[in-house]
Structures are given as structure tokens and as C-alpha cells.
């Protein structure tokens, strides 16, 4: 047993630093999928977090149209100039780029973007991907794979190789937020679906999900939903959930993951960076948990306002697993608050973070920053537990860290 506060603190920080994480939600792809897997200096600098930030400080003559007409290196040059050279790189996204370059061994202090680019140009993705996973100390990462996107379908239909440390998830939100286009895709693939849902259509949607699950062997079904999402209601969306999605998920024993609260395209000029956030109705999650006690639900919410109510639901329903600090919540002050709240209400029965990485290299900074925040919060909680008279062992500390770094997710998925 750890008999002093100093020994306990050291054990917590060591466990957080050394324990492997499971990144349960990313937007990565296998190297065999070519340009769908984003990586390298220019992809880091033109990620939509930084593009959106650029336009908070850019001169008026830099219009959206002018920016998007440039090639990617020129776009990256503008981001570098305005966010890193002319202004302090103090935002989480900007600091994250610096952390990434630094942990890769690059001398960011010299501000030599040309040298950084040269280093990346010398890397081979087949060797670079495992290097990134090792730097981030990730055992495996879950991708997001959309059977409604032609470019992705073309890759999966060719049965291209996928590293064992990248595992698919089946993205299905077109079924819930863009039914018309989803019908077109399924029809073109030979499924007998109609724009006006019928019993036959629901059966065919379920067959579509089962067929793609057989191909991908996904970790879960996933959908990104707006703050207006409600369940149950009189809409076709509720029928699709009840008559196709949940029957397929339960047949396969898969969780249904929902990321709720994104307000789409509030500023179209920013492209992928144009989405905003809205406060959602958490009773939709409650309704699903109530109606499907034998179903499994993974949920993260985008608004800070929703976190407490969601966490309380996690105490009430064993079929709900709360995960991650998503997107606009992926900031140190909010992450620390949310992690404290979850530890206080859920113990270790949650997953503290997911990277949501669309650029491979982002795994490095997101998990480096997360480990620091989680270590500080866990030290605080363990010291309080020590003061109450409990004496944890080093093995127990490691067990608990692994739980919130992916162990609890694995247990939940296996239920």
C-alpha cells in the first residue's frame, strides 16, 4: 500500500504517464486508403480548428473565397503567419500543433516551417503511423467509417489492408439527419428502400447495417446529431431507430454511439470549421435507455451545459457509457471540470477522453495534454481519498487509470 501522500502522488502520475489508452473515437483511416488518411505539417496547420481561429484575426482582405482558392501549403502559410508568428499560439489548437512538432523531435523554437515540412516529407506513412501510436501510447484507435460516402465505400469494397491497431466504427447519421440521400445510396447499392418508410424499408435498412457490419466488424454504430434531436417522437427518425438501428445493434451486441449537440453550418464560409454548438435535450438519451434496457449506448455531448445532466443519467442507467470531452469541450479548463464531475458521480465507469482526431498527428498532442489534465485531477481525488483513511496500492491506481483510459469501455462493450 502507498503509505504517504508523496508516494501516492508519484504512483498516480506514473500510472497516467505509462498506461496505454484506447482512443474510442477518431476520424482516421488505414494507410491503404490513401489520401483519406490526413497527416503532416500542412494538414496539422489547416485543420478546421485553426482555420476558424485564423479568421478571428485575419486582415479583412483575406476573404473565405480567397483562402479556399489557395493550395494547402499556401493556406498553411497563412495560418502559420497569423496564428503563430503575429499572435500568441495560446489557444488549445495552436498549442497542440506546437506540442505535436516538439514531441516529434522538431525544433519549433526556430520557427522554421520549411524545415518542419522537410522532415515530414521524409516520412513513410507505413512506418509513421505506428510511431505516432507509440508516442501517444495508444493500444488501438477506433475509426469512423461511413458507408454512405462513395470515396470510403470504394476503399472498403477493395478489401484493402487495415492495421490491427485501427478498428472500424460504422457511421450511420445519414439515416437520421439526411434520409433522402441515405435512401439514394442504399437504392444504388441494391436495397429496396423508399423515401416514405415502410415495413419493407425498415427491414432493408436493417439488412444494410448487418451487411456492412459483416464487412467492417465495427466496434459500434455511430451518429453525430444536432441539439434538436429528440426521442421518442412521432417522426420517421424515431421509427428508423426503433425498427432498424436498434434491432440491428442488439442483434450484433453493438453499442449505439451518439455525439449530440453540433449545430451544423452556422458559418458556411469556414467549411468544416463552420459548425457551432447548441444545448441539447438530454431526455432523448434517457428515453433510449428506458426503452432499450438490453441495448447499449455510448454518449458524448458537445455543450458544457449538458454535461452534468448526462453524467447523472450515467448513474441511473447501466446501459449508458459516458465518454470523452468532445470538440468545443476539448479545452483544459473544461476537461478538468468534466473529469472531476465524472469521477465524483461515476467513479471510474466512464471514458475520460477520445481524440476525435481527423489528422493522424493530432493523436500526439491530444493525449499528451489529456494525460497532464487527468493526472492533476486524479492526484487531487486520490489525496482526498487518502485523507479519508484509504490507502490504495500502486496496482489499484494503475487499474483505475486504465479504466478511464479505455478499460471501462471494453467492459461495457463486452456486456
pLDDT digit string (tens) for the chain, length 415 residues:
999 999 999 999 999 999 999 999 999 999 999 999 999 999 999 999 999 999 999 999 999 999 999 999 999 999 999 999 999 999 999 999 999 999 999 999 999 999 999 999 999 999 999 999 999 999 999 999 999 999 999 999 999 999 999 999 999 999 999 999 999 999 999 999 999 999 999 999 999 999 999 999 999 999 999 999 999 999 999 999 999 999 999 999 999 999 999 999 999 999 999 999 999 999 999 999 999 999 999 999 999 999 999 999 999 999 999 999 999 999 999 999 999 999 999 999 999 999 999 999 999 999 999 999 999 999 999 999 999 999 999 999 999 999 999 999 999 999 9
Q: Is the dihedral of CA 186, 190, 193, 199 positive or negative?
A: negative
Residue whose C-alpha is closest to residue 26's, from 282, 320, 330: 330
Give residue 188's pLDDT. Answer: 98
Number of structural domains (the chain) is 1
Q: For residue 140, is it within any domain? A: yes
Q: Is residue 124 part of a domain?
A: no
Residue 386 maps to a domain = yes
d(CA 195, CA 183): 6
In a domain, 192, yes or no: no
User: Quick check: is 199 in a domain?
Assistant: no
Residue 96: its H or E element: helix 92-103
The total of other beta-carbon atoms located within 10 Å of residue 60's CB is 5
Note the pLDDT of residue 51. 98
Q: Is 170 exposed, middle or buried (0-12, 13-18, 19+ CB in 10 A)?
A: buried
Does residue 232 lie in a domain region? no
Q: What is the pLDDT of residue 334?
A: 98
Q: Is residue 9 part of a domain?
A: yes
End-to-end CA distance of the chain: 31
pLDDT score of 394:
97
Cα(346)–Cα(312) distance, integer angstroms: 8
In a domain, 294, yes or no: no
Q: Tell which residue, 4, 11, 20, has the closest CA to residue 379.
A: 11
pLDDT of residue 289: 98
**pLDDT score, position 347:** 98
Residue 97 has a pLDDT of 98
Asked if residues 238 and 246 have their Cβ atoms less than 8 Å apart, the reply is no
CA gyration radius for the chain?
Answer: 22
pTM for the full model?
0.97
Range(s) of the domain holding residue 395: 1-38+134-166+326-415
Amino acid at each position: 500500500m502507498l503509505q504517504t501522500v508523496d508516494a501516492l502522488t508519484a504512483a498516480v502520475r506514473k500510472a497516467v504517464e505509462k498506461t496505454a489508452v484506447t482512443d474510442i473515437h477518431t476520424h482516421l483511416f488505414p494507410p491503404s486508403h490513401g489520401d483519406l488518411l490526413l497527416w503532416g505539417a500542412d494538414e496539422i496547420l489547416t485543420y478546421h480548428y485553426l482555420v476558424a481561429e485564423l479568421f478571428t484575426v485575419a486582415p479583412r482582405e483575406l476573404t473565405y473565397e480567397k483562402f479556399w482558392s489557395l493550395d494547402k501549403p499556401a493556406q498553411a502559410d497563412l495560418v502559420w503567419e497569423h496564428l503563430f508568428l503575429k499572435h500568441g499560439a495560446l489557444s488549445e489548437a495552436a498549442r497542440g500543433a506546437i506540442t505535436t512538432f516538439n514531441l516529434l523531435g522538431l525544433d519549433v523554437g526556430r520557427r522554421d516551417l520549411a524545415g518542419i515540412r522537410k522532415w515530414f516529407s521524409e516520412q513513410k506513412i507505413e512506418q509513421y503511423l505506428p510511431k505516432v501510436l507509440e508516442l501517444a501510447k495508444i493500444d488501438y484507435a477506433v475509426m469512423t467509417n461511413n458507408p454512405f460516402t462513395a470515396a470510403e465505400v470504394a476503399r472498403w469494397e477493395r478489401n484493402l489492408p487495415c492495421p490491427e491497431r485501427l478498428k472500424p466504427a460504422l457511421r450511420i447519421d445519414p439515416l437520421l439527419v439526411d434520409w433522402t440521400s441515405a435512401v439514394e445510396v442504399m437504392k444504388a447499392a441494391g436495397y429496396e428502400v423508399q423515401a416514405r418508410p415502410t415495413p419493407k424499408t425498415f427491414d432493408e435498412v436493417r439488412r444494410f447495417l448487418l451487411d456492412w457490419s459483416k464487412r467492417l466488424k465495427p466496434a459500434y454504430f455511430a451518429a453525430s446529431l444536432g441539439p434538436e434531436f429528440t426521442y421518442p417522437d412521432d417522426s420517421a427518425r424515431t421509427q428508423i431507430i426503433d425498427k432498424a438501428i436498434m434491432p440491428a445493434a442488439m442483434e450484433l451486441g453493438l453499442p449505439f454511439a451518439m455525439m449530440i449537440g453540433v449545430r451544423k453550418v452556422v458559418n458556411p464560409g469556414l467549411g468544416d470549421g463552420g459548425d457551432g454548438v447548441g444545448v441539447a435535450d438530454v431526455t432523448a438519451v434517457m428515453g433510449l435507455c428506458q426503452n432499450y434496457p438490453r441495448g447499449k449506448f455510448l454518449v458524448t455531448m458537445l455543450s458544457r451545459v449538458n454535461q452534468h445532466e448526462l453524467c447523472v443519467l450515467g448513474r441511473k442507467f447501466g446501459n449508458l457509457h459516458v465518454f470523452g470531452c468532445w470538440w468545443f469541450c476539448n479545452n483544459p479548463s473544461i476537461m478538468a471540470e468534466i473529469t472531476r464531475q465524472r469521477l465524483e458521480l461515476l467513479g471510474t465507469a466512464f471514458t475520460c477522453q477520445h481524440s476525435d482526431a481527423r489528422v493522424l498527428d493530432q493523436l500526439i498532442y491530444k493525449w499528451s495534454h489529456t494525460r497532464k489534465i487527468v493526472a492533476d485531477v486524479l492526484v487531487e481525488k486520490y489525496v482526498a481519498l487518502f485523507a479519508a483513511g484509504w490507502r490504495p496500492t500502486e496496482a489499484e491506481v494503475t487499474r483505475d487509470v486504465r479504466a478511464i483510459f479505455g478499460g471501462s469501455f471494453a467492459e461495457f462493450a463486452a456486456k
